[in-house]
Amino acid sequence: MTSKVDEALGYEQARDELIEVVRRLEAGGTTLEESLALWERGEELAKVCRRWLDGARARLDAALAEEAAEEEPEE
């Protein structure tokens, strides 16, 4: 479940934190418990990023549809 703090994260903030989580996981040297916590955090951050990207796609699609409707010749 995504927390209220995660919901307030901007795309760039979530992406940057996700990059750091991945870097730490790839570097190794963490305990199993730490690795699981990092992985769970990474999953939550990925969801935040996906919501931002899905929202941006929806806005672009709506703008393109509106533009196309305005360009249609009236019969």
Residues whose CB falls within 8 Å of the CB of residue 42, separated by 6 or more in sequence, listed in order: 18, 21, 22, 25
Q: What is the pLDDT of residues 14-71, one digit of tens each?
A: 999 999 999 999 999 999 999 999 999 999 999 999 999 999 999 999 999 998 888 8
What local confidence, expressed as pLDDT, does residue 70 receive? Answer: 86
